[in-house]
Amino acid sequence: SQQGEEDPQALSIQEGENATMNCSYKTSINNLQWYRQNSGRGLVHLILIRSNEREKHSGRLRVTLDTSKKSSSLLITASRAADTASYFCATADNYGQNFVFGPGTRLSVLP
Amino acid sequence: DVKVTQSSRYLVKRTGEKVFLECVQDMDHENMFWYRQDPGLGLRLIYFSYDVKMKEKGDIPEGYSVSREKKERFSLILESASTNQTSMYLCASSFTLAASSGNEQFFGPGTRLTVL
């Protein structure tokens, strides 16, 4: 069953702009993770936010989590062409065995 | 750095062939996973393994089997390949399944399988 749903499905921005992607999920989670996938490659873990956290930063990445709305957002500031990739959210329940990826947001950063 | 390798980047097989996809990780992770990725569907879990010789079905195990004889190696087997198994196959590993410990997964580069 699909848990996370990213929005939008695709996003095009100019270099230097900020990119925001959203993820909604349906059931209670222990943590939510964001991954990046460059074209035709495997996924790379970006950041994990726990259910008792509201915001987390890592370099140019900012993740927020609103458990009351069952949603998360990933903000990439001052985007670069190298940020062009697909971004996935993944949710984990408290047992860790229900680890579910959404369909992803395809980000294009134009030079 | 964790390294997860997959035996092939691209593979072309014929309908009915038996196909082996191999995955090796070098960080002594307990858990290994096989996903398939299709456009618009995201990643779907086929099987995972939490220990040597242990396996659990994921969301779409039909038509697949797995083998984990050694901790570092997890194989995905298509007993009789069909055209609807044409897909990108991704292997991953993680140190723990426990979400409370941070169960991030480390992925291999993927194998793009085409079944003709």
Q: In the Cβ-directed half-sphere of A72, how many Cα atoms lie within 13 Å?
A: 33
Identify the band that residue A2 occupies on the pLDDT scale cut at 50, 70 and 90: very low
What percent of chain B is predicted at pLDDT more than 90? Answer: 76
Contact B42 A102 (CB under 8 A): yes
- B53 Rama class: left (phi>0) / alpha (psi -120 to 50) / beta: left
Size of interface A-B (CB pairs under 8 A): 63
Contact B31, A97 (CB under 8 A): no
Among B96, B105, B109, the residue with its CB nearest the CB of A45 is: B105
Which residues of chain B fall below pLDDT 70?
Answer: 1-2, 97-102
User: What's the CA angle centered on B15, arms A103 and B36, to 5 degrees?
Assistant: 20
CB of B59 within 8 Å of a chain A CB? The answer is: yes
> Which residues in B30-49 are b (16+ Cβ under 10 Å) and which e?
ebbbbbbbeeeebbbbbbbb
d(CA B113, CA A77): 36
Q: Which of B1, B67, B10 has its CA nearest to residue B34?
A: B67
- Looking at beta carbons, which residues of chain A come within 8 Å of B104? 33, 45, 48
pLDDT at A49 (0 to 100): 93
Contact B108 A31 (CB under 8 A): no
Of A15 and A96, the one with more pLDDT: A15
Identify the band that residue A19 occupies on the pLDDT scale cut at 50, 70 and 90: very high
pLDDT at A1 (0 to 100): 38
Contact B18, B113 (CB under 8 A): no
Mean pLDDT score, A30-53:
92
